[in-house]
Amino acid sequence: MRPSIAKAQVQDVDKDASMIKQKQMMADHFDRLTSAKENGEKVASTFVPGNLNELLMCFDLVNNLPEVNAIQSGLRKQSGAYIMEAERAGHSEDVCTYVKSDIGMMMKGNIGPNGKKLPDPDVLLLSYTGCFTFLKWFELLREQYKCPTIFLQTPYMADGKVTPNMIQYMVKQLKETVIPTLEQVSGIKFDIDRLREYLKKSAQAEDDLVYILQSGKNVRSPIDAYFGGIYYIGPIFGAFRGTDDAIDFYRFLREEVDDRLLKGLGPVTPDGPMGEEKFRLVVEGPPNYTSFRQFWKMFYDEGATVVASSYTKVGGTYDYGFRHDPDRPLESLAEYCLGVYTNRSLPMRIDMLSDYINEYQADGLLINSIKSCNSFSAGQLLIMREVEKRTGKPAAFIETDLVDPRYFSAANVKNRLESYFQMVEQKRSGRGAAA
């Protein structure tokens, strides 16, 4: 594509005011991150699922999220070159492409989305919540940066419930390992009242986020909970939870959603306001970022709105009632980590997706299976069949990747989507009942 055409397409993208606000928040954060060393600030690298942003803020640590860096590289069409660089260095084609994008970016100078070098971390904090890849990823980063590494083990929710022993086990780790190491790295003494204040702010923003996501129950939905959802979850799943900025953003976004509800409008797409809502979908799995706009267009061109998704729960399942609790600060951090989507068993995921289809009056389930993401893709065919059986609604399966452009076949995805929408229409009319 010629640069002039690409530039024109970028300029033509239509955005909500909240999307513009979110983009500016992220830009400001990257400016703070890339200026951290010259401003005397220390940096902690951690991951989105189960991240302890409120705790890190107690030690004045700037939050760096490697998978968010990979997403930014994917959206900017840079991840493909980074992945190839990592593969030339010996990393397998089957390795998570977030990892290879991050490693490749590091090998090419570690330049962030603002064009400035990302700082080396002073500490690696792995809050382990079910994705084994994160464990191996941090081993690679530890070899590179030679900095302290903290491992917070979250018990897997194999039986589908949180027990007092699980919480006690995690609180013990926080008290004996995590907090003392963060004190040592930062030189700042832990203040539990400071943590309580941040948790109080988190809960306030979380209330508004749940309201926004649950607005998808309306027919028509004022939001798209998958593509638009990327913008909704960014601040609260990353470096802004526990801040006044997060409270302001989600209040602003809620007002925007309420305005669309009042006017009977659907979500805003990159090509402008959504047209008629013909299909209501629940989607399982992450999106593809290297062809994000093209992927989204395949949906809104067909009048398909995603009313609920599992991906918008990867950083917290707030719609199931959890809120960060300032009255139980360390226990609350433990419960948060335990409940994130990556730490939920297959039966729990099946229950969640089935509930979404029923509660959000969806026409069916669509699974986007990510080639390099075992945390999501393992068991998805089982999930699809079980959800179909429970809800009586049709399900379909497409395949892409996170940030590797080699594994996005636009023609293949489009054909499968069109076939699925035809199947949904047949099911509605009763023609598909015998099948």
**Pairwise CA distance, residues 101 & 24, whole Å:** 23
Look at strands 149-153 and 123-128 and give their pairing.
parallel
Confidence of residue 418 (pLDDT cuts 50, 70, 90): very high
Would you kindly state where each structural domain of the chain is located, as residue ranges?
13-429
Residue 432: per-residue pLDDT? 53
Confidence of residue 429 (pLDDT cuts 50, 70, 90): confident
Per-residue pLDDT reduced to its tens digit, 200-218: 999 999 999 999 999 999 9
In the 8-state DSSP scheme, what is residue 151?
E
Confidence of residue 6 (pLDDT cuts 50, 70, 90): very low
**Pairwise CA distance, residues 13 & 52, whole Å:** 34
Confidence of residue 82 (pLDDT cuts 50, 70, 90): very high
**pTM summary value:** 0.92
Residue 433: per-residue pLDDT? 47
Confidence of residue 55 (pLDDT cuts 50, 70, 90): very high
Residue 129 phi/psi, 5-degree rounding, is: -130, 50
Is residue 7's pLDDT more than 60?
no
What angle in degrees, to the nearest 10, is found between the helix axes of 244-263 and 17-34?
160
Of 182-186, 272-276, 311-315, 376-380, the range with the lowest mean pLDDT is: 376-380
Residue 14: per-residue pLDDT? 66
